[in-house]
Amino acid sequence: MTMQRLSGWGRTAWTVADVIATTDENQIRSMLSSVGDRGVIARGLGRSYGAAAQNAGGTVLEMTSEHDPLGVDAVLDPISGILDVAASVSLDSILRMCVPRGWFVPVTPGTRFVTVGGAIASDVHGKNHHIDGSFGVHVRSMMVMLSSGEIVELSPESQPAWFWATVGGMGLTGIVLRASLQMLRIESSKVRVETERLGNFDAVCEAMSGDGEDDSYRYSVCWVDLLATGSSMGRGVLTRGDHATAAEAEGDDPLAYDPRLKVSAPGWVPNGLLNKFSIKAFNEAWYRKAPSQRHIGIESIPAFFHPLDGVNKWNRLYGTQGFIQYQFIVPLDRTDVLRKVIETFSAAGVASFLAVLKRMGPQNLAPMSFPTEGWTLTLDMAAGIKGLAELLASVDAMVLDAGGRHYLAKDSHVSPSAVRRGYPRLDDWMTTQEAMDPRGVWRSDLSRRLGLVDPRRNP
């Protein structure tokens, strides 16, 4: 028994669980046979922002292999680009192994410090969602341990219902042990990036719309200044690009890859360091730093995909109070709601250090997968802001009324009814979940808050 206090990456809503660190199948199986009635959840690198990978009073199975003395448990087929990898391996390890061999992960979120298991459970997406979809659609098959201890192989062909319930299933259908991923061929470790400044929100939405040239870029995302008001409200810096060819990358070894961490955030950051004023100053500088005319440059993978990973433990920048990451999606024709949400936060004086807008492509087959065709806006804010619960509730209602939904991997506050309204296939998923886990062993603080697993089922 190692009782440990856990939170998500946002450092809010801490709870205590018995943490068992293992990736050993037999050990997991024996733990499952004697599990208490507060259940089990698997945890990877703890990058989900809310309470998805913690389990108050229950068991948390910590499955990471960052320091595995045997190296990275992954096999890459150099012809097909299929990677057979343990779920505890991080995208960081995969990139270190595969980029020099000319293969890139099919989808990467804003951090490479997520495990394959976590990426599947959250069905993560990246800057290429409008072209390539989310992580789950690149999984060819996976080995999943059910709560009975049985290991099943799931694929979209052989077990579609169970496969898609596990994709985006927040770890509540079973423990992903291994997965086969289709990697993406690259010629270089560089990205050709086009950067342009857009003076207001209309310009941002227009540039990113599907009618324009946005679909000709594999990667596209826009940083938005939520504090700008008046005619420059919603101004942004749009960055789009694709993997550079060997010729574009130049240099002796176009596939050379060096993702070393640069600095660490100190542990003593005071609450309130990131406030309206400091963020306003940052936003102004960030906007001005971007070239006023469209500019084409060559960037490294970490600089383009994982800028925040350059600062180790950046989540401490909000101090001990922690922070909320708010990500929602609304249908393509509801840019009015995006505008209303931005105005609401701005009027309430909520400053967001990182606000990112992206147009997403079509939804996949997973009932609980977040992305649907539409606009997704992501912003973060200090958790200690006065009146935040009321403010978020009003924004939640705008999102849901517009037919939108919230991303569970980021969520730390929505109500059970918000999930019910936002995810119309919730009942389908719950039926499959119950078939896969009749005893209701898989539990997390997230599932408890949102009622994703019927509390009356007893492990």
Partner 1 sequence: MKNGVGVAQNIVLFGGTSEIGQSILRRIVKPGVSRLVLVSRDIDAASRVSQDLVDRHPELDVHHVRYEASDAASMEHVVAEVADSIGDIDIAVVAQGLLNENVDYYASPSALIDVVNVNMTGEMVLLYALASRMRTQGYGKIVVLSSVAGERVRRGNPVYGATKAGVDGFALALDHELAGSGASVLVVRPGFVTTKMTTGMKKAPFSTNPEVVAQIVEKGISSDKKIVWAPAPLHWMFLILKNLPIAIWRRLPI
Decide: is 422 part of the binding site for partner 1 (CB under 8 A). no
Decide: is 424 part of the binding site for partner 1 (CB under 8 A). no
Of 53, 22, 165, 41, residue with least CA distance to 410: 53
C-alpha to C-alpha distance for 234 and 184, rounded to whole angstroms: 34
User: Is the separation of the CB atoms in 130 and 220 below 8 Å?
Assistant: yes
Q: Closest distance between partner 1 and the C-beta of residue 235, in Å?
A: 28
370 φ/ψ angles, rounded to the nearest 5 degrees = -70, -50
Which one of residues 2, 5, 212, 362 is an interface residue with partner 1 (CB under 8 A)? Answer: 5
Kindly report the number of other CB atoms within 10 A of residue 286's CB atom: 13
User: Is the separation of the CB atoms in 316 and 265 below 8 Å?
Assistant: yes
C-alpha to C-alpha distance for 64 and 68, rounded to whole angstroms: 9
Which one of residues 261, 273, 347, 393 is an interface residue with partner 1 (CB under 8 A)? Answer: 393
Which one of residues 38, 340, 425, 439 is an interface residue with partner 1 (CB under 8 A)? Answer: 38
Decide: is 457 part of the binding site for partner 1 (CB under 8 A). no
Give the torsion through C-alpha atoms of 300, 305, 310, 312, to 10 deg: -150
Q: Closest distance between partner 1 and the C-beta of residue 172, in Å?
A: 14
Decide: is 307 part of the binding site for partner 1 (CB under 8 A). no
Q: How many residues does the chain have?
A: 459
Tokens of 111: 């951090």
Q: Please provide the DSSP assignment of 26-61 as one string.
A: HHHHHHHHT--TT-EEEESS--SSSSTT--TTSEEE
C-alpha to C-alpha distance for 179 and 153, rounded to whole angstroms: 9
Q: Closest distance between partner 1 and the C-beta of residue 53, in Å?
A: 14
Q: Which is nearer to partner 1, 271 or 363 (CB)?
A: 271
Which one of residues 39, 50, 110, 404 is an interface residue with partner 1 (CB under 8 A)? Answer: 50
Q: Which is nearer to partner 1, 49 or 219 (CB)?
A: 49
Of 430, 362, 417, residue with least CA distance to 170: 430
**How many residues contact partner 1, by CB under 8 A?**
36
Which one of residues 12, 48, 111, 147 is an interface residue with partner 1 (CB under 8 A)? Answer: 12
Q: Which is nearer to partner 1, 263 or 347 (CB)?
A: 347
Which one of residues 190, 243, 413, 421 is an interface residue with partner 1 (CB under 8 A)? Answer: 413
Q: Which is nearer to partner 1, 235 or 413 (CB)?
A: 413
**Chain residues in the site for partner 1 (CB under 8 A):** 3, 5, 8, 10, 12-17, 38, 49-51, 55-58, 322, 324, 383-384, 388-390, 392-393, 412-413, 415-417, 445, 448-449, 455
